[in-house]
Amino acid sequence: MKNEKAEKIKILIVDADGVLTDGTIICGNFNDEYRAFNVHDGFGFELLHRSGIKSAIISGKLSRALARRARSLKIKHVYQNVSNKSSVFKKILKKCRLKPEEAAYVGDDLFDLPVLKNAGFSATVPEACGDVKNAVDYVSKKRGGRGAVREIIEFILKSQDKWEKIIQHYLG
């Protein structure tokens, strides 16, 4: 189950809508927008950080719910309302002093393609459009907003031989 590209990853960057969520946006009566996040994805970020891998979010939309969720998950690099994800991807790499091959990106739609093509390891969810699924290294079995990010995190950590240490931590 090891993957040579995933072995090199030092940062995981994800899209939000369709990846961290199932893509549903509920519009409230007072210009509020609601999104649901998965607790397993959240714990996955904790495991990722504990293993020494950084994380970031690049979203095309602006969402207070996403900002709140990112803070609770201790994700330091959060960019919202982004029209050019590729330039933000490069900015994150420069800020973290990383190379493209050390970055993993998870996206689900056409505007994610430039970053997916430049990331060292790319992944998507089953609901992604066909062009995205054809362009990535890994398509999760779990759906966006339903544990897909956790599955991808586990895949990366297993590729880096870090998973067994995590299991041993919980076994005591």
Nearest CA-CA partner of 99 in 116, 120, 117, 115: 120
Number of folded domains that form the chain: 1
Q: What pLDDT, in 10s, does the model give residues 161-170?
A: 999 999 998 8
pLDDT at 77: 97
**For position 55, which CATH number holds?**
3.40.50.1000
Q: Residue 42 and residue 163: Cα distance in Å, rounded?
A: 17
Instruction: Report the pLDDT averaged over residues 120-131.
Output: 97
Task: Look at residue 1 and tell me whether its pLDDT is greater than 80.
Answer: no
User: Which of 20-24, 91-95, 96-100, 153-157 is predicted with the least confidence, judged by mean pLDDT?
Assistant: 20-24
Q: Whole-model pTM?
A: 0.95
Task: Look at residue 155 and tell me whether its pLDDT is greater than 90.
Answer: yes
- Nearest 10 degrees: CA dihedral of 158, 52, 18, 122? -60
Please answer whether residues 57 and 48 qualify as being in contact, where contact means their C-beta atoms are separated by less than 8 angstroms: no
- Longest alpha-carbon distance in the chain: 49
Q: Where in the sequence is the domain holding 114, given as residue range(s)?
A: 4-171
